[in-house]
Amino acid sequence: MGSAASAVGFAVSSPAMSRNLPSFGKSLFFGDLREELIFPFPRLHREEQARTSKLVEQLHEFARQQIDANAIDRDERIPESVLAGLRPLGLFGVNIPTAYGGLGLGAGATCRVFDALGAIDGSLAVTLGTHAALAAKALTVFGSDDQRRRYLPKLASGETIASFAVTEPVAGSDAASIRMRAEPQPDGQGFLLNGSKSWVTNGGLAGLHVLFAQTQVARTAGEVDRISGFLLDPGPGVIVGSERRKLGVRGSSTTALYIEEVRASGAQLLGGLGGGFKVLMETINFGRLAFAAVCLGTTRTLLRLAVQHATSRHQFGRLLSTLGMIKEKCASMAVDLYAAESVVYLTAGLLDASSQGRPIDTSLETACAKVLSSEMLWRAATDASQVAAGCGYANDYPYERLLRDARLYSLYPGGTNEVLRCYIALNGLAGPGEQLARLSDAIKFPLRGYGLVVETLVEKVRTAAYGRAILARHHPRLKREAVLIEDTIESLTREVDRVLRRHGRFIAEMQYVQSRVANVVIDLYAMCASVSRASAALYQKDARGDHAMPEAGGELDRAERELRLCIGFCSRASTRITETLARFTQNDDELMKSIADDCYIGQPYPFDGVL
Ligand SMILES: Cc1cc2nc3c(=O)[nH]c(=O)nc-3n(C[C@H](O)[C@H](O)[C@H](O)COP(=O)(O)OP(=O)(O)OC[C@H]3O[C@@H](n4cnc5c(N)ncnc54)[C@H](O)[C@@H]3O)c2cc1C
């Protein structure tokens, strides 16, 4: 079994193709602010916007008439009538190319659909998310022509539902340690698969399993194990376990999958022999974003419920909504939602630009989106339920179901939030770390490294001469927020330099540090995304020549509300960042580690109350 560092090593490796591509998130670690990547805030193409709005409207209309989320939760299944009703809408093939019968929507539009599903029902969102954003996505990107022709039309129509099976009893976060094996057959006729998968979403519904197994691959040093993807139809030896009962998303199917002596031909390999790692990494990059979008929709539902409750219930002769502590909860939900929405749709725009011939590395951004959105949803679920108090605890109201559902997204799909924090920090630090290592080599071997030393000195001089990263494309009314961003980038770069010099390659073991780096970067990216989005709204307002301000107490127009939400998020994020930065040097990490060790070594907690 791999060590924690190697597990995260697996998790942090970027797909080879994303190396050297422009990356907004990674450039922040170098103190660069590549604002051309995030301004102007992406918008869907007019035609795609119209199609998506229509689809989302139809989905909501269908949901109003046919989907009972409480019943799905209570009965622990999605009725066939619901799945049947979603098929003609094209929901199963939302991101499958039109050539294969799908809707062919890009990342932004697909996220808008998953956002809507999140507002409707978690079980449906997880079922369709796994089918479309993971399994169908993997086939679309990595399938051969034959594989696409054979499977995608059925996946698009929903005739076949697919699973995406990686996790095994011994291999959760440490996906590299999966034990399922696909042995090449001596007759050269494909592979023999054996092993088991746990936690297979859609396991009980699937007519196609996209799964991953270890295969032997020839390298110069000899045979080595590498992960390969396989497409497996149900059949003899493909045994589906019983339905697992769960805390939330109870209507989704979750089973184990046992593979016993199953023959697979070479034509069933997905992404080539030993290419499974790349399939996994690229697919979960998209999957993370789609599920982050699900979190947006669910949070919007929670905010609506909390506001409905607060504006209709009186206590002490007053509406709850007039109370400061209730206002704080509703405002925090709105502010966080604005930032998470900005991050999801900005990142989707980067993915869309990438698929339209302007390749961009989005691996860090999708991880930020997933952590930010899933944790926002969890906070919103507890806050909304607190606003509803007793009703929030009762199962004839939706709060408790939404709270249970919300637990999932900080662990599925694409890595738990702990692992994603390591991923964000180590992926980001890898760039400056590599430069630092090359620089120290260059100093040791001055002639060989002359160019690099000069380059780096020139860079230092440039930075000293021109000062720090400057944001220029924001709207003037967001000047203060732009300065907060610039200040944070400066502090982040200083901290990156310091931790790399201090810990060197041992940074891979420094999880307290990684977590802080990731927290700063997530908030920083969310500030940038919010400023980009609010700027777009303000520039549009300027272009309309609309300078009217609302009457006192009147309803603000959209741009003014966006401005307020953006300012609110940036102010809170920057306070959090300041606190986090201070804890790089002043912290109780060592004390906390010893307290944890005490729990592990002796009884976890040997005190019986005050006695
Ligand atoms: C409802 C549901 C549906 C699912 N569907 C699927 C599916 O369709 N396909 C699939 O493949 N999987 C699926 N999963 C599995 C899911 O992906 C795993 O649960 C997840 O990857 C974590 O693995 P684990 O549960 O084994 O936790 P572990 O990996 O054992 O982790 C336990 C804890 O340790 C932490 N941890 C682990 N390693 C590190 C590290 N290096 N640094 C810091 N902290 C660490 C984790 O964050 C977590 O808090 C599903 C899970 C659920 C609950």
Question: What's the CA gap between 583 and 589, in Å, rounded?
Answer: 9
From atom 2 of ligand 1, which residue's Cα is the shortest distance away?
Answer: 199
Q: Is the CB of 59 under 6 A from ligand 1?
A: no
Question: What's the CA gap between 502 and 512, in Å, rounded?
Answer: 14
Mutate to test the pocket of ligand 1, among 6, 412, 422, 509 (most ligand atoms within 8 A of CB): 412
Is the separation of the CB atoms in 521 and 491 below 8 Å? no
46-160 maps to CATH 3.30.930.10: no
Indicate whether 188 pLDDT > 90: no
> Counting beta carbons within 10 angstroms of the beta carbon of residue 510, is it exposed (0 to 12), middle (13 to 18) or buried (19 or more)?
middle
Q: Is the CB of 510 under 6 A from ligand 1?
A: no
Cα maximum dimension of the chain: 82
Fold classification of 163-272 is Butyryl-CoA Dehydrogenase, subunit A; domain 2 (2.40.110)
> Counting beta carbons within 10 angstroms of the beta carbon of residue 99, is it exposed (0 to 12), middle (13 to 18) or buried (19 or more)?
exposed
Report the separation in Å between the CA atom of 289 and the middle of ligand 1, taken as the mean of its atom positions: 17
Q: Which pLDDT value is given to residue 451?
A: 56
Q: Residue 344 is inside which H or E element, if any?
A: helix 324-355
- Kindly indicate the confidence band of residue 554, based on its pLDDT and cuts at 50, 70 and 90: low
- Kindly indicate the confidence band of residue 525, based on its pLDDT and cuts at 50, 70 and 90: very high
Q: What are phi and psi of 217, to 5 degrees?
A: -130, 135
Question: What's the CA gap between 133 and 163, in Å, rounded?
Answer: 11
Indicate whether 552 pLDDT > 80: no
pLDDT tens digits along 557-573: 999 999 999 999 999 99
Q: Which range, 80-94, 216-230, 441-455, 545-559, is most confident?
A: 80-94
Q: Residue 235 is inside which H or E element, if any?
A: none
Structural class in CATH, domain 4-17+419-546+555-591: mainly alpha
Q: Is the CB of 4 under 6 A from ligand 1?
A: yes
Q: Which pLDDT value is given to residue 435?
A: 73
Q: Is the CB of 177 under 6 A from ligand 1?
A: no
Q: Which of 101-110, 154-163, 504-513 has the lowest mean pLDDT?
A: 504-513
- Kindly indicate the confidence band of residue 501, based on its pLDDT and cuts at 50, 70 and 90: confident
> Could you tell me what percent of the chain has a pLDDT over 90?
82
**Intra-chain end-to-end CA distance of the chain, in Å:** 43
Mutate to test the pocket of ligand 1, among 210, 244, 411 (most ligand atoms within 8 A of CB): 411
Is the separation of the CB atoms in 288 and 413 below 8 Å? yes
DSSP per-residue letters across 134-171: IIIHHHHHH--HHHHHHHHHHHHHTSS-EEEE--BTTB
Strands 162-165 and 181-184, how do they pair? unpaired
Q: Is the CB of 561 under 6 A from ligand 1?
A: no
Q: Is the CB of 10 under 6 A from ligand 1?
A: no
- Kindly indicate the confidence band of residue 506, based on its pLDDT and cuts at 50, 70 and 90: confident
Taking the complete model, does pTM exceed 0.85, yes or no?
yes
278-417 has the same fold as 4-17+419-546+555-591: yes
Q: Which two tokens stand for residue 425?
A: 């920090």
Q: Which pLDDT value is given to residue 442?
A: 61
pLDDT tens digits along 1-55: 344 434 344 444 444 445 578 999 999 999 999 999 999 999 999 999 999 999 9
The residue ranges of every structural domain in the chain are 4-17+419-546+555-591, 46-160, 163-272, 278-417
Q: Is the CB of 422 under 6 A from ligand 1?
A: yes
Using DSSP's 3-state secondary structure scheme, residue 222 falls into: strand
Structural class in CATH, domain 278-417: mainly alpha
Q: Which pLDDT value is given to residue 5?
A: 39
